[in-house]
Amino acid sequence: MPAAPIYNRVALIGLGLIASSMAHAMRAHGLAGEIVGYAKTPETRATALDLFCDRVTDTAADAVRGADLVVLAVPVGAMGAIAAEIGPHLMAGATVTDVGSVKAAVVAAVAPHMPAGVHLIPGHPLAGTEYSGPRAGFASLFENRWWLLTPDVSSDAAAVARLSSLLAGMGAKIDTMDAQRHDLVLAVVSHTPHLIAYTMVGVADHLEQVSNSEVIQYSASGFRDFTRIAASDPTMWRDVFLTNKDAVLDILGRFTEELFALQRAIRMGDGPMLHDYFTHTRAIRRSIIEAGQDTAAPDFGRAPIPAPDQGTT
């Protein structure tokens, strides 16, 4: 049986994978009285009205009127302009949160536009798929996933607790941390791995000696996992790298140093160094499985892929 709504009116600004999944989850669990949506293009708005919004509006300002929760779910680079637009129309006592992958830059862009009496509680769901857009959402996206909140010392505790109830109601696990620390942690676990995956896919594509078909045909040997990561939304990732520049460049510098050390070991034929290094990384994998962040099943617990039509030669 659905619980009582936690917010009477939720305004979703931006209607992609995350916002549509939130809408599906809020509907499934009865967490919101009304879900109002705004997106830049009329096509996206029409899809959202069809699939998961009670109402859509032609402007972001119209969407937030009377909403007790406003969710900014646009690319990080667009947050400042949206905040400037909606600021004057926010209801006193409303909570504004966001779902951006970078937090310090979002706070810097959004906070100046928040009127007194409005609670800004930045957030970041560590959930997603390689798909994007309003048709990509599904209600279970946040189940057992972390949702990081970066309130500051001045944040209203009751407003944070209320938002946390909503997120927990969608199945998320909640943690809070400082915005700067969030950006460094995410640079390590997400942003830099994504950039590296993009790079490796680019290398394979540029390499004329190896035809695309061979790279694709034999991709299951490790490359496939990079391509999944590298298939994520280009606009979102552009903004992540431009707005979390310092942390990403720091981690990239460390990565390059480390890669050069391994490259040198290969060139010098230093087998013991390579073996020690590779042995050590295994322990980290085990910790991740023990922490419940992945399955111990071989090959990610992937379902078998059906045989293609060509048969088996």
Q: Which of residues 272-301 bind a copy of itself (CB under 8 A)?
A: 274-275, 277-282, 284-288, 291-295, 297-301
Site for a copy of itself in 73-132 (CB under 8 A): 77, 126-127, 129-131
Q: How far is the CB of 149 from a copy of itself (least distance, A)?
A: 11
Please, which residue, 111 or 136, has the CB nearer to a copy of itself?
136
Site string for a copy of itself, 225-264 (x = CB under 8 A): xxxxxxxx-xx-xxx-xx--x--xx-xx-xxx-xx--xx-
Please list the residues that pair with 9 across neighbouring strands.
34
Three-state secondary-structure class, residue 145: coil
Q: 75-112 as b/e, with b when 16 or more CB fall inside 10 Å?
A: bbbbbbebbebbbebbbeebbbbbbbbbbbbbbebbee
Tokens for 177?
């941390």
Residue 202 sits in the site that holds a copy of itself (CB under 8 A): yes
Stretch that binds a copy of itself, among 1-9, 37-45, 60-68, 135-143 (CB under 8 A): 135-143
- 272 with 280: CB under 8 angstroms? no
Site for a copy of itself in 139-198 (CB under 8 A): 140, 143-146, 148, 168, 171-175, 184-186, 188-190, 192-198
Q: How far is the CB of 72 from a copy of itself (least distance, A)?
A: 19
Please tell me the distance from the alpha carbon of residue 88 to that of residue 181, in angstroms, as a whole number: 31
The separation between the first and the last C-alpha atoms of the chain, rounded to the nearest angstrom, is: 54
Please, which residue, 58 or 294, has the CB nearer to a copy of itself?
294
Cβ-count burial of 28 within 10 angstroms (0-12 exposed, 13-18 middle, 19+ buried)? middle
The CA-atom distances, in angstroms, between 198 and each of 7, 120, 249 are 39, 33, 15
Site for a copy of itself in 33-72 (CB under 8 A): none
Count of residues interacting with a copy of itself (CB under 8 A): 120
Please, which residue, 115 or 271, has the CB nearer to a copy of itself?
271
